[in-house]
Chain A
Amino acid sequence: MDFASFLIQCLNALQYGLLLFLVASGLTLIFGIMGVINLAHGSFYMIGAYMAYALAPIVESTFGGGFFSTLVVGLVLSVLLGYLLEWAFFSFLYEREHLQQVLMTYGLILVFEELRSILVDDQVHGVAVPPLLAGSLPLGELMSYPVYRLFVSGVCLLLAAGMYLVLTRTRLGMMIRAGASNREMVQSLGIDIKFLYRLVFAAGVAIAVLAGMVAAPVSSVYPGMGNTVLIVCFVVVVIGGIGSIRGALLAALLIGIVDTFGKVLLPSAAGVLVYVLMALILLWRPDGLFKVA
């Protein structure tokens, strides 16, 4: 592999890893703080992607907006969706046993899949890259790298940085981190736990939806995409350690590298590699890389 190809694969790995991190961070926070196993988290990603496809013509005809306006509209809608879902559904799951949560969120996946089928369709769709970002960056003499993919990585990094700042520099972030390691303590400190939960949940949903929207032009939009991303995100969360954002980032990047280079170097084994990685890490560190106490 020459240097340009290697660089391209690195950038691909970075982009995939960062996208995974975005989706997985919501999952790990929701599991870590609220103790809820949410199988439907992948569905939010799918919803984002289909929104990017379905909303674009509506946004265009309503106020002539393009890709970025669609993103904004999608973001607003997703926050609303997250807020509503938490209030109407997820708030009832906190006290339940894990396996009951599994059952209920599994039902939710089915409901989301069908709603998508009814409201949009079951087809595979492409989403156009916005003209502004449609170019390619030349790498060496023969290769070039799509600007849009760099944009995706950029957005993810920005969001990751934003999350880092909120989590480490604000009071809210402190409460969230405390909640991730010791839920009962946070409750007994008199912090409005309901509000905190609703906020974290809505944020988790919004981030996953945004990840889906941003990824749509790259990965295209297809019915099973939620489930595919879900299972990999669980792997990320488990490798990284439940409740740990830092762990999720490291694990996501690791998986990005293993998966991307695996597909190139060992295509017949590519699918397995991620799971082999997880099995190895868990056998070495049974509680994930960064166990949150």
Chain B
Amino acid sequence: MFSRLVFVGLVFAGLALWPLVAGAYGLDLVIKIMIAAIFALSLELLVGATGLVCFGQAAFFGIGAYAAALLMARFDGAALWWLLPAAVLCAGLYALAVGALSLRTRGVYFIMVTLAFAQMAYYVVHDTPLGGGTDGIYLPGVPTAPLDLGKPLVFYGLTLASLALVFGVLGLLLRSPFGRALAGIKANEQRMRATGFSTYPYKLAAFAVSGAIAGLAGFLFAVKDGFVNPELLAWHQSGSVLIMIILGGLGHLRGALIGAFALALLEEFFKSEAVWGSFAKHWHLGLGLTIILSAALLPKGLVGIPQLWRDRLEARGE
């Protein structure tokens, strides 16, 4: 337990100190990773903590992003203090609606229904004038009040604060009665109901919170890139974030962190021409093989490595 806190503490300390050593590229990369980590944490709440495998998380991410773009286009000089909550709220509301309908199904069917609702959102922004179509929308600038997000350091600070906040809140949430109830639902929903828990409201609440957090990530992403397009809601995004948390390790918040970092760093590694020369354009190959290997060798994800080490040392000690 203590070692986990130390690990997380080190990670955040490292992130806080990173701007001192990083150049513009490094800063940009880590901002991207932190946004991915927030996205991953949102899904971890559903998949790892509650056992609800949602394959439509990209929709909430994309809605947060599009809300940013559309609201900024509509309201000149929009201030961050209402813009951000508004985007988060939009995503959360859609998640509430999707959850209300999807939670009637179970297992693989639940997975597919969540996908269906994400695809619906995708096609709305892809095919209707609402979302600006396949070309996407450029944001008319960045929010400058009260924080000037045009400055990289300021934006880095906001992203880091958001990540820390989400991590902290989820940490508290998962050890609270609500979080324990989610764990019980994941372990054996039948028993939870037999004991007197109405499980539907709990699952729905988790769904809405998860969607809201994903919307936060989407908002940050939109502001960072200055551009949103329908691909943000594509099922590849939903798949990618699922891969992140499985790779990192399900059932642990830091697994989401680790997975986001690992996937991004692996991508950077395999894309590096310094290492691979002209073969670097086939970086999917290296990434794919690494994913296969880690799934084969690390059934509990990267988070399980310390335990594997301990088991191996113990076995050797006998």
Q: Which A residues contact B (CB, under 8 angstroms)? A: 37, 39, 92, 96-97, 99-100, 102-104, 106-111, 113-115, 117-118, 227, 231, 234-235, 238, 242, 268-272, 275-276, 278-279, 282-283, 286-288
Contacts and interface: CB of A to CB of B under 8 A. Distances in A.
Interface in B84-140: 101, 104-106, 108-109, 112-113, 115-117, 119-120, 122-124, 126-128
B109 A110 contact: no
B288 A279 contact: no
A268 B128 contact: yes
Interface string B288-299: 111110011001
A117 B286 CA distance: 13
Nearest to B299: A100
B288 A276 contact: no
A231 B235 contact: yes
Interface size bucket, B side?
35 or more
Contacts of B246: 99-100, 102-103
B115, B116, B296: which has the most chain A beta carbons within 10 Å?
A: B116
A268 B291 contact: no
A110 B119 contact: no
Given A99-B250, A231-B235, A283-B105, A107 B112 contact: no
Interface stretch (B143-151, B164-172, B236-244): B236-244
Looking at chain A's contact residues, the main secondary structure is: helix
A231 B127 CA distance: 19
A288 B53 contact: no
Contacts of A107: 287-292, 295
A272 B109 contact: no
Contacts of A235: 112, 116
Given A37-B108, A271-B126, 18 more contacts: A39-B239, A99-B47, A99-B250, A103-B295, A106-B288, A108-B288, A111-B284, A113-B284, A118-B285, A231-B119, A231-B235, A238-B112, A268-B127, A276-B120, A279-B101, A279-B120, A282-B105, A282-B109
Interface of B: 47, 53, 101, 104-106, 108-109, 112-113, 115-117, 119-120, 122-124, 126-128, 235-236, 239, 242-243, 246-247, 250, 282, 284-285, 287-292, 295-296, 299
Nearest to B283: A114
A282 B116 CA distance: 10
9 contacts: A106-B243, A242-B108, A270-B127, A272-B120, A275-B119, A282-B116, A283-B113, A286-B105, A288-B109
B53 A99 contact: yes
A238 B108 contact: yes
Contacts of B296: 92, 104
Contacts of B123: 269, 271-272, 275
A97 B246 CA distance: 11
A83 to B, nearest CB: 19
A25 B295 CA distance: 27
